[in-house]
């Protein structure tokens, strides 16, 4: 007999060269089917793990962190609402390559689509700021400092953190652009209704009561990484940086649901 690296085939080939009884044949067949079913289940789980966790990491930290298909620039800042949780806050500003703009607050987003001329003008400003940052260097915020995070995602991704201490020495085109985007307004902005949310959980308590866990997956899954949930499943829950206090068994959790933009991954 020829050799084969497949363990099932090797097991069959190792049998004595004599007729195989019907019972032994059934046992070998059953074990082979069980092995194949187990392998199939493994690859289904691996595919899910790859799509949900491993592939974003493999794309590189800067790109995976962005997580928004077609985004040109994303600006994030901690919400100022008392009791809010920064992890749940939507971006303060996001511009997609098709001209769609998103402007966020503590929990909600508004959106519009820029005219071609408006988009071209804003892209020129963004490119000029990228060049200024590349020429003059990025600000170096103090460790742990809170500030505004700006991610330029067109071409080679660039991330800049601007805080009050570094703003005076930062490239002035960057400072001017950040100030403008933080207070961005447009007459055609309308309320954005997200199709899904990124649900995150922390095991800690908030003052007051708590609500039961009602989602279809164990809350522990959201401790390690955000989990995407549909807008329908999130009905009745606070969204954005406004947290929910949750009781699950004898444990307490703080849960946030961050609105996801079109094409965004948790």
Residue-wise pLDDT tens digits, 162-183: 887 778 788 899 999 999 999 9
Would you kindly state where each structural domain of the chain is located, as residue ranges?
A: 7-58, 65-190, 194-259
Q: What is the pLDDT of residue 56?
A: 33
Cβ contacts of 48 within 8 Å, gap of 6 or more? none
Report the C-alpha dihedral over residues 34, 35, 41, 47, rounded to 10 degrees: -160
Q: What is the pTM of this model?
A: 0.71
Determine the Cα–Cα distance for residues 155 and 196; give it in Å rounded to an integer: 27
Nearest of 152, 179, 167, 146 to residue 77 by alpha carbon: 146
Residue 77: C-alpha distances to residues 27, 83, 151, 178, 251 (Å): 63, 15, 12, 11, 30
pLDDT (tens digit per residue) in 243-254: 999 999 999 999
Nearest to 173 by CA among 131, 227, 236: 131
Q: How confident is the model at residue 51 (pLDDT cuts 50, 70, 90)?
A: very low
- Tell me the pLDDT tens digit for each residue of 186-228: 999 999 999 999 999 999 999 999 999 999 999 999 999 999 9
Question: How does pLDDT run across 140-160, given as a tens digit for each residue?
Answer: 665 555 689 999 998 888 888
């Amino acid at each position: 007999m020829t050799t084969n690296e497949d363990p099932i085939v090797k097991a069959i080939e190792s049998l004595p060269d004599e007729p195989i009884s019907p019972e032994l044949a059934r046992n070998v067949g059953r074990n082979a089917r069980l092995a194949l079913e187990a392998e199939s289940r493994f690859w289904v789980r691996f595919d899910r793990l790859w799509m949900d966790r491993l592939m974003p990491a493999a794309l590189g930290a800067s790109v995976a962190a962005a997580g928004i298909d077609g985004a040109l620039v994303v600006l994030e800042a901690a919400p100022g609402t008392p009791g809010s949780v920064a992890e749940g806050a939507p971006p303060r500003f996001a511009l997609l390559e098709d001209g769609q703009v998103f402007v966020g607050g503590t929990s909600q987003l508004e959106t519009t689509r820029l005219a071609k001329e408006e988009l071209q003008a804003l892209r020129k400003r963004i490119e000029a700021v990228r060049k200024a940052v590349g020429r003059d260097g990025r600000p170096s915020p103090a460790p742990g400092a809170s500030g505004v995070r700006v991610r330029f995602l067109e071409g080679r991704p660039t991330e800049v953190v601007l805080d009050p201490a570094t703003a005076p020495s930062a490239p002035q085109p960057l400072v001017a652009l950040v100030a403008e985007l933080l207070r961005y307004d447009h007459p055609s902005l309308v309320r954005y209704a997200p199709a899904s949310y990124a649900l995150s959980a922390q095991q800690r308590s908030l003052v007051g009561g708590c609500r039961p866990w009602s989602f279809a997956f164990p809350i522990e899954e959201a401790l390690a990484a955000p989990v995407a949930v549909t807008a329908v499943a999130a009905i009745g829950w606070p969204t954005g940086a406004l947290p929910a206090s949750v009781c699950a068994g004898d444990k307490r959790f703080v849960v946030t649901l961050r609105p996801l933009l079109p094409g965004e991954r948790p």
